[in-house]
Amino acid sequence: MREFHDAAIEKNLTILNEIGLDPGIDHLYAVKTINEVHEADGEIISFISYCGGLPAPECSNNPLGYKFSWSSRGVLLALRNSAKFYQDGKIVEIPGTELMSSAKPYFIYPAFAFLCYANRDSTPFKEYYNIPEAQNIVRGTLRYQGFTDFVKVLVKIGLLDDSNQNYLHFNSPEITWREVIAKVLNTSNNTEDELRKAIKSTIAENEISKDEIERILKGFKWLGLFSDKPIRRCGTLLDTLCATLEEKMQYEEGERDMVILQHKFEIKLKDGTRETWTSTLLEYGKPPGPSAMSTLVGIPCGIAVQLILDGVIKKRGVLAPYTPEIINPIIAELEKEGIKVKEEKL
């Protein structure tokens, strides 16, 4: 998209990207704080940002603690992405196969049990956010505890494979999940007990606790992965799994979603003292009205469009909300809509 910048200027166009939630609201409050620190001659030593679109705690009633409000395929494919970020001044890279193993607990409020993991490539934000001094830069994802171990097992046995499988073609003979799991595990015995043993054998000793493995296997059963009922065949293991997840893990009527976003800044002030600042946003959906996700994606986008039409945002080209002339008026309008990030100095 950035390649069209000069052409957009020539045609007197403003093409503003990354103005939903993440990316979007996250940029606004990252740049706001960074600018405040720099204007006071301070430095950003560390910038850590995590965001999660999740079911509200009382609606997280399935083995993954997750429900789909958008493409299940998109969600699962993102779990295979590699990650890249700055840690102690050095670039760290995590291959997609190890992403779930890299997850660690992340504390925001005592009532939530979150895990976090890095999301794709965070390294360009040293330039985008103008923080060349930062030693740590991580942008990532939040999920409830239990999610990453469950996904780790799905990956281990090959259920996120997106290559075509003849036995999953829609014209192929009927097949059950029990038979599919036996195929991916390369075992001729497809009884539930044998499949459970075969799955356990793929997990290295001490990689996942015994109690957690049992919870995951119960989750497999809840999803119907040991069932002898014919499944909907979708060509690949990934897409066939998506069809099952979408059937079992949709939001029900009256259920609400939740969005939580937190930036954590480690700051060195002009006098050399160090402080931790946070910017936290917590929003719940309002059934039967809008979800938290639709509110926090749609309203910033709508505000940005109106500000461009009103001539408040005048700059032309392919833009992102990284500069005061873009972020300040959007933040002001967001607060009028009741969307406000809680900023604290710890």
- Is 193 designated active site? no
Q: What's the burial of 36, exposed, middle or buried (CB within 10 Å: 0-12/13-18/19+)?
A: middle
Please tell me the predicted confidence (pLDDT) of residue 189: 87
Read off the pLDDT band of 206 (50, 70, 90).
Answer: confident
Class of 161-245 in CATH: mainly alpha
What mean pLDDT comes out for the span 26-47?
Answer: 98
pLDDT digits (tens, 9 = 90+) for 273-316: 999 999 999 999 999 999 999 999 999 999 999 999 999 999 99
Find the helix or strand (DSSP H, E) in which 137 lies: strand 136-144
Question: Which among 6, 22, 211, 310 is annotated as catalytic?
Answer: 22
Nearest in space to 261 (alpha carbons), one of 22, 4, 15, 13: 22
Find the helix or strand (DSSP H, E) in which 55 lies: strand 43-55
Q: What is the C-alpha separation between 252 and 335, in angstroms, rounded? A: 30
Domain spans, the chain: 16-136+146-150+253-289+323-337, 161-245
Say if strands 14-16 and 317-319 run parallel, antiparallel, or are unpaired: parallel
What mean pLDDT comes out for the span 22-34?
Answer: 97
Read off the pLDDT band of 146 (50, 70, 90).
Answer: very high
Peptide bond just before 110 cis, omega within 30 deg:
no
* For residue 208, pLDDT beyond 80: yes
Q: Which bin fits 251, alpha (ψ -120 to 50), beta or left (φ > 0)? A: beta
Q: Where are the alpha helices (DSSP H) in 138-235?
A: 147-156, 177-184, 192-201, 210-223
Please tell me the predicted confidence (pLDDT) of residue 204: 82
* For residue 200, pLDDT beyond 90: yes
DSSP conformational letter for 136: E
CATH of 16-136+146-150+253-289+323-337, one of 3.40.50.620, 3.30.360.10, 3.10.20.600, 3.80.10.10: 3.30.360.10
How far, rounded to the nearest angstrom, does the alpha carbon of residue 212 sit from its chain's CA centroid? 23
Please tell me the predicted confidence (pLDDT) of residue 205: 79
What mean pLDDT comes out for the span 60-74?
Answer: 90
Read off the pLDDT band of 260 (50, 70, 90).
Answer: very high
Please tell me the predicted confidence (pLDDT) of residue 177: 96
Rounded to two decimals, the pTM is 0.93
DSSP conformational letter for 236: B
Please tell me the predicted confidence (pLDDT) of residue 2: 85
Nearest in space to 144 (alpha carbons), one of 66, 73, 249: 66
Query: How does the average pLDDT of the chain come out, rounded?
Result: 95
Read off the pLDDT band of 207 (50, 70, 90).
Answer: confident
